[in-house]
Amino acid sequence: MSPITFSVNSINDLSKVAEKIHKLSSYNRIFLFDGEMGSGKTTLIKYIVALFGIKEASSPTFSIINTYLGNKSQSIYHVDCYRIENENEIENIGLLEILYGENLCFIEWPEKIHNFLPNNYVKIDINIENNLRKITIET
């Protein structure tokens, strides 16, 4: 599939992007979110997991991994790799089991764990240009 780019003027426009990513989750498990600090990665993920029936989602910046239970009793993982400092941490927190398991996984700051990622994933880039967010989805 060719990359799809959305231009997002306001937070309300995120619902269209979230719906597209939600549709992709029927045949993809791993979603990587790339963007600078404050670009809206966590906010977009909150919109996506809401489509799975999750009413309250929070940033996993300090916990590193948040686990949510979706409306089909499926575990959904939200991972923030920003604070991961070395490869030992990846194993110690159980991230490898999550990456190679069967559940959905939304990952912020994926460059920190690039060497451990499965081959198949969806990449979401968020770039800010003149107060406009350009969100590109690539499978």
Summarised one tens digit per residue, pLDDT across range 31-84 is: 999 999 989 999 999 999 999 999 889 899 889 999 999 887 789 999 999 999
Could you state, in order of their start, the residue ranges of all structural domains in the chain?
Answer: 4-134
The neighbouring-strand residues paired with 125 are 34, 136
Phi, psi of 73 (to 5 degrees): 55, 30
Summarised one tens digit per residue, pLDDT across range 95-113 is: 999 999 999 999 999 999 9
- The structural architecture, per CATH, of the domain 4-134 is 3-Layer(aba) Sandwich (3.40)
Count Cα neighbours of 106 within 13 Å in the Cβ-side half-sphere.
27
Maximum Cα–Cα distance across the chain: 41
pTM: 0.93
